[in-house]
């Protein structure tokens, strides 16, 4: 399976992903475990993961970015498994 990070880099360019690369990589690692252990539906495990991926602090934007990338990663992995 081609990692989502590699596909996004090809589509939008590496310079566009420079600031989000650590978050994308961390979300990919978490997305590898979440569906296997908890399924793909939103639940407490997903919420905890989003909180862990978010930069510490009350910034809603960081939580939204973490949730967005985690959702992308889980969807990407699920789509590949269903092929």
List the pLDDT tens digit at each of the 83 positions of the chain: 788 888 888 888 878 788 888 889 999 999 988 888 887 777 899 999 998 998 776 678 888 999 999 999 999 988 888 88
Give the pLDDT confidence score for residue 81 in this predicted structure: 83
DSSP 4-71: HHHHHHHHH-HHHHTTTHHHHHHHHHHHHHHHHHH-SS--HHHHHHHHHHSPSSS-HHHHHHHHHHHH
Quick one: pLDDT at residue 57?
65
């Amino acid at each position: 399976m081609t990692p989502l990070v590699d596909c996004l880099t090809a589509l939008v360019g590496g310079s566009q992903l420079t600031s989000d690369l650590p978050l994308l990589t961390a979300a990919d690692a978490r997305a590898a475990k979440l569906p296997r252990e908890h399924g793909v539906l939103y639940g407490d495990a997903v919420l905890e993961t989003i909180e862990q991926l978010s930069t510490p602090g009350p910034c809603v934007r960081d939580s939204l970015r973490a949730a967005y990338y985690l959702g992308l990663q889980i969807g990407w992995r699920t789509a590949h498994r269903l092929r």
